[in-house]
Structures are given as C-alpha cells and as structure tokens.
Amino acid sequence: MARIAFIGLGNMGLPMATNLLRAGHDVTGHDPVAEAPGIPRAPDALTAAKGAECLITMLPGGAHVRAVYASGALAAMAPGALVIDCSTIDVADARAAHASAAEAGLATLDAPVSGGVGGATAASLTFMCGGTAAAFAQAQPILAAMGKRIVHCGDAGAGQAAKICNNMILGISMVAVAEAFVLAEKLGLSHQAMFDVAANASGQCWSLTSYCPVPGLVPASPANNEYRPGFATALMLKDLRLAAGAAKSAGANTALGQHAADIFARFAEAGGAGLDFSAVIRAVREP
C-alpha cells in the first residue's frame, strides 16, 4: 500500500481520500479550509508530501495546482514517486504541471474525473488520464481505489483534453434538449410525448435520457429535486470556458461551445450558478 499525500479535501477530494484510506493506503491530507473528518492532516502541502510515494491534487483550478507544485512538495517526495492531478484545469496548465514534475524526476499523470460527488463517494469515478504508459501503469492500483473506468487518453494533457471536449458536448446537448422542450411546450406538446419520441429517436442523448431538464421523466434527474446539484452551473461554465480557451489557442472552431458558454454565463449571473446545470432550461424558457 502506498504512502499518499492528498491535497484539496473539498466536495470531491474528501470522498476520494476517504476511499484511498478504506483501501488501506496511508493517506495524509492537506486543505487550508475544508474540515475533512477522518483524514489525517498536515499543516501544508510540503509537510504532507514528505517521503510520499504519490501526491494527488484535487483543486479548483490551474493556479492552485501550480502553487502546490511550486511549494517544494515535489522535491520532498520519495525517489521515483508519482504525481497525479485530478483537478479539471487548462490543457496548457496541465502540460506545465507535467513538465515541473518531470523536472523533479517524478512520474506524472493528469487524471481529471467524471462522475461527480456521487461517483467520488461510491468509488465509481471515470478517470481520463494523460501521461506516459509507465506513469499510467504506476497509477492503476491507486486510481482503482477511487474509480471504475480508468482510460489512458494519450500523452501529457490528453486527460484534460478529453474531459473538456466531453463536457463541451454535455453543455451544448443540455441547451439543445432544453430548447426542444421549451419549443414543444409552446407548440402544445406534452413533456411525456416529447420525451417518448425523442428518447427513442435520433434526438436521444444523455442529457435527455439520464439527466432530463424537465421534472418527472427520468428517475435520477436533478429537475425532480428543484435542480439541486448534481453538477453545478458554475462548474459547467468553468469547463466550457476551459474548452473555449483551448479552442482559441489550438485554432479550433467551436462556435456552439462558445454559444453554450455565453448562455450558461448569463444564467449564472442571473442567480443560477449554484443550481444544477440542467436548470438552464429556466433561462431558455424566460430569456
């Protein structure tokens, strides 16, 4: 079992660190704010990382990850140790993080997740990994304690690329499903009829059949629960902005992704930031 430093014990990090402890790993956590009951704590990242065989970060953004990597934590780890960043961050930041870990002689992986707090708690996350085959193999037993699907997407940054491309599809498709339901309402079509047709026709997609933005049609939909997240609008907006930034620097045309980002930004500013992202149907209904 590995000696693991876990940095960032928020909504996702705490259940992930808890699952590592349950699997028998020796975990020391650090978070300046979160309470994180049950996780042995260090006063800072450097202390947590001393002699660790693995350092995992689960932080809000790229600047936070860079700050931890620059704190001296990397140099304090055991020789041949592994660094895994599970946060969702910019592809360029992820590549810079890989470079600084490699400079310190460490194996390194970007491994953002999907599955949300429910998946983190149930140890059923999907990990999208970028890095060398050797780093991916080294990470397997650790990631397996926190997730069910562990996919090697390619070299440094490939996990973040997969994550933001997937979430761009999700953001766009949720707006599309919301627009279809609102148009159906205005045309006098019942929600049930609209669902029964589209769920079994070419409009079928995850946003419709697993996460429908209209209440009463799909069991686990946040719409059934006053749009309590789930996956908050603020996080969807973050991911759409990361996708837009990546598209700009890579020269890709993602017009619909940008449009979806604008729609979620307006909804967040109007008070929807803390609601599940499927609540964007309210903004579509009353622009």
Output 89 or 214, the one with its CB closest to ligand NAD. 89
Nearby residues of 234 by Cβ (< 8 Å), 6 or more positions away: 268, 273, 274
Q: How far is the CB of 150 from ligand NAD (least distance, A)?
A: 15
Q: Of 106 and 235, which CB lies nearer to ligand NAD in the complex structure? A: 235
- 186 classed as catalytic: no
Closest distance of CB 15 from ligand NAD, Å: 9
CB 136 within 8 A of CB 152: yes
What is the b/e burial string over 229-243, where b = at least 16 CB atoms within 10 angstroms of the residue's CB? Answer: bbbbbebbbbbbbbb
Of these residues, 50, 148, 163, 238, which one is catalytic? 163
Where does residue 156 fall: left (phi above 0), alpha (psi -120 to 50 degrees), or beta otherwise?
beta
Check: CB of residue 241 under 8 Å from CB of residue 263: no
150 vs 182: CA distance, rounded Å:
37
The least distance separating ligand NAD from the CB of residue 62, rounded to whole angstroms, comes to 9
What is the C-alpha end-to-end distance of the chain, expressed in Å?
53
**Nearest residue by C-beta to ligand NAD?**
10
In angstroms, the CA 218 to CA 194 distance is 13
Cβ atoms of 45 and 68 closer than 8 Å: yes
d(CA 2, CA 20): 9
Closer residue to ligand NAD, CB minimum distance, 195 or 231: 231
| Residue number with CB closer to ligand NAD (112 or 131) | 112
Of 62 and 213, the one with the shorter C-beta distance to ligand NAD is: 62
Least CB distance to ligand NAD at residue 134 (A)? 25
What is the C-alpha separation between 266 and 11, in angstroms, rounded? 25
| Chain positions contacting ligand NAD, by CB under 6 A | 7-13, 30-34, 45, 58-60, 64, 67-68, 87-88, 113-114, 116-117, 231, 235, 238
Q: How far apart are CA 232 and CA 266, in angstroms?
A: 14
Q: How far is the CB of 273 from ligand NAD (least distance, A)?
A: 13
Which residue numbers are catalytic? 163
